[in-house]
Chains A and B, each alone.
Chain A
Amino acid sequence: MNTPASPPSPYSAALSSSKIESHTLSVLVDNEPGVLARVVGLFSGRGYNIESLTVAEVAHAEHLSRITIATSGAPETIDQIHHQLERLVPVHQVTDLTTSARSLERELAMVKVRGRGENRADALQLAEAFRARIIDATTESFIFELSGKPGKIDEFVDLMRPIGLVEVSRTGVAAISRGPEPI
């Protein structure tokens, strides 16, 4: 007999007790009008989280796009998201890269930092440590380009904040599985 401690609602008690996990889902879709709206609408309509979302055409001749979604939720919720995505008519394949295979995740960010004197030197030093490239510079600013796991970018941005962070633009996560086989 299951007797969970004070469920939030009598209806939602059974499946929502587990802890929250972050997962990256790779969704291969027909590149047709509205397909992104369908995927995003599924998330908003059913109350799922989107932490980041990346989409681009990956096979021009076959009209295929890959949507990479970083999401979070209880394992049962992630499972639901997976199967709800599979149900969409233009979806070819859904892969949970977090559970299915060893995968690589990368994100690109452009970070604008403003400052003079000591701050400028600090920024340059940190950029070197993070292997960030300078893609624009003025006498009082830099724009750094860096790529890596989302956590690395978070860390870099946090370090730049006291130095003179102006703004950040990030691409969201792109992911792929390791080894010779496709996802």
Chain B
Amino acid sequence: MSKEMTGAEMVVEALKDQGVDTIFGYPGGAVLPIYDVLFHQEKILHVLVRHEQGAAHAAEGYARSSGKVGVLLVTSGPGATNTITGLTDALMDSIPLVCITGQVPTHLIGSDAFQECDTVGITRHCTKHNYLVKNVADLPRILHEAFYVASTGRPGPVVIDIPKDVQFSRGFYTPPAGVAHKTYHPKLDADLSAIQAAVEMMAQAKRPIFYTGGGVINSGPAASTLLRELVALTGFPITSTLMGLGAYPASGANWLGMLGMHGTFEANNAMHDCDLMIAVGSRFDDRITGRLDAFSPGSKKIHIDIDRSSINKNVKVDLPIVGDCGHVLEALVRVWRAEAKHADQPSLDAWWDEINQWRAKKSLAYRASSKTIKPQYAVQRLYALTQNKDVYITTEVGQHQMWAAQHYHFDEPNRWMTSGGLGTMGYGLPAAIGAQLAHPKALVIDIAGEASILMNIQEMSTAIQYRLPVKIFILNNEYMGMVRQWQELLHGGRYSHSYSEALPDFVKLAEAFGAKGIRCSDPALLDAAIEEMINYDGPVIFDCLVDKVENCFPMIPSGKAHNDMLLADLSDDAGLELGSIIDEKGKMLV
């Protein structure tokens, strides 16, 4: 039934009808009518962030950990432009967001009015879709369409820009009632012939591997269950991208660990030497493939993806399957069973023997120390002391992110929130806030670096205001560690501006915000300090002073192939001589 109301009331009504219970936002002149409507209701919790970028990442953390659409509400001009990094991050990592921005009144658009910017123009390149609502009659449809577009197909961020006069105008609101979009209808089910062809290829494979990605997580928990079933049925080894961690359990027998630039020796070598690669919801990005012309040269490739444009974008595949990972995996399991297929067991056994030899390299090993805390050791202890809890992990970007991916192990999907595609420093704290709001009783930890955490440290205030007991575990090596590692690799160890000088005292900083601060620099005291953090009922900043010069291994240097990995040198304190490893062409890459 349609009801007459103002545009601002429609916004809040539509949010309720879409099942939204939490939004992240920051008020300002051009969204005041919507904030006034929020004032009169209690169904939707509005979380006041301290910077609009924080709102976007918090909405991402909320969405990624809950499977729901994340919603943010910001004002025009700077409010909108401050969300750009978060929107781009969500676009790259396929996170469903609806971002509502205020805009100057319609008659002022184009006049360079106060706090005016061309929001739809600016966000066109960093959203899946966006709308400028010029007529209140279009608003209900656009609001519902935005949720549909954000959450279906390959998910992504959608912006709705609403001028202030439209927020005040009255019109008729219509509830969602089965949105029939004019043009956007993603294909969910694959053709049976493709499924049969895939099953046939799998049954004949001698050295197969599953290479799965964030698409499996996006498809929902059922897809992860089906993936586990298919892996169990076939006995194939499985590796995953950074974004896909948790879809298959790290404790599972067939797990090879993460692949790619900082992936395990066994995962990358298995990718290189396989004869059948089954890519599920992964997109062959450059952190995964390394040198393209040497990428898995002897394999047939099956690529399952809901986004047709991901197929053959970077790597040519033999069998494309366009569809939702969950639907396709269900069909693969069904057909594999119905046709009573089985893997080529003798070949598979030989393949596992080979893989186990790579595994024996123990590529994640590092030189232990009783004097300084090794960053890997810190993550391992954090994992050991929290693995039996209801835990969600977010990260910032850099070395600590890779160490977290390598040494913190995930057995369930949606437990791991990280900025993969865009690589956004400052993502972790707001994302942790979002995850904590979606899971109020869970233990949410942001594994951070001392440089990244300062990029959105203002959100500590948000955590305090809403009593969100997020734990920030800083691996503090006083360097932008990944930058330093690359300067070591490419620029003769000239550490141009990568030293974190004039750092704050993180314990005092925590206290200044009203949180708890803990510092630890002694490996012998680390466990007790981590326990103290876990047991504290409130937000904590944990300043973990780690080895300052540790580098992140194993590593595929830029421009090299999967079977050309650098392993940590465990015998020598000086470590590897990195300066000459990357050739001139590799140096051009990022």
Could you tell me which A residues sit within 8 Å of B by CB distance? 1-4, 7, 9-15, 30, 33-34, 37-38, 41, 45, 76, 79-80, 83-84, 86-87, 89-92
Contact = CB atoms under 8 A, between A and B. Distances in A.
Contacts of B149: 89
A123 B558 CA distance: 60
Contacts of A83: 308-309, 311
A45 B589 CA distance: 19
Nearest to A12: B292
Interface in B536-590: 558-559, 585-586, 588-589
A9 B132 CA distance: 40
A152 to B, nearest CB: 35
Nearest to A6: B585
Contacts of A38: 124
Which 5 residue pairs of A and B lie closest in terms of their CB atoms, listed nearest first? A83-B309, A13-B293, A10-B559, A14-B292, A89-B129
Contacts of B585: 9-10
Contacts of A1: 297-298
A9 B316 contact: no
Contacts of A89: 128-129, 149, 183-184
Contacts of B291: 10-11, 13
B221 to A, nearest CB: 26
Interface of B: 120-121, 124-125, 128-130, 132, 149, 182-184, 286, 289, 291-293, 295, 297-298, 307-309, 311-316, 558-559, 585-586, 588-589
A2 B125 CA distance: 35
Nearest to B145: A89
A4 B294 CA distance: 10
Given A3-B293, A10-B586, A89-B184, A15 B312 contact: yes
Contacts of B559: 10-11
B312 A14 contact: no
A10 B184 CA distance: 36
13 contacts: A4-B293, A10-B291, A10-B292, A10-B586, A10-B589, A11-B289, A13-B291, A14-B314, A37-B121, A80-B312, A80-B313, A86-B308, A89-B129
Contacts of B286: 11
A124 to B, nearest CB: 48
Q: Is the interface of B mostly helix, strand, loop or mixed?
A: loop
Contacts of B314: 14-15
A14 B316 CA distance: 8
A9 B315 CA distance: 15
B270 to A, nearest CB: 18
Given A11-B559, A86-B308, 9 more contacts: A2-B293, A9-B588, A9-B589, A10-B293, A11-B286, A14-B295, A14-B314, A15-B292, A89-B129
Most chain B C-beta atoms within 10 Å of own C-beta, residue among A10, A76, A91: A10
A12 B297 CA distance: 15
A20 to B, nearest CB: 18
B183 A14 contact: no
Contacts of A34: 120-121, 124, 130, 132
Given A11-B286, A86-B309, A33 B132 contact: yes
Contacts of A86: 308-309
B301 to A, nearest CB: 12
A30 B312 contact: no
A98 to B, nearest CB: 18
A15 B286 CA distance: 13
Contacts of B121: 34, 37
Contacts of B586: 10
Contacts of B313: 80
A11 to B, nearest CB: 5
A92 B292 contact: no
A34 B134 CA distance: 13
A34 B586 CA distance: 39
A41 B125 contact: yes
B307 A87 contact: yes
A89 B291 CA distance: 33
A30 B293 contact: no
Nearest to B284: A14
A13 B292 contact: yes
Contacts of A92: 182-183
A41 B182 contact: no
A39 to B, nearest CB: 11
Contacts of B307: 87
A150 to B, nearest CB: 28
Contacts of B308: 83, 86-87
A7 B286 CA distance: 16
Nearest to A85: B309
Contacts of A30: 182-183
Contacts of A12: 292
Nearest to B307: A87
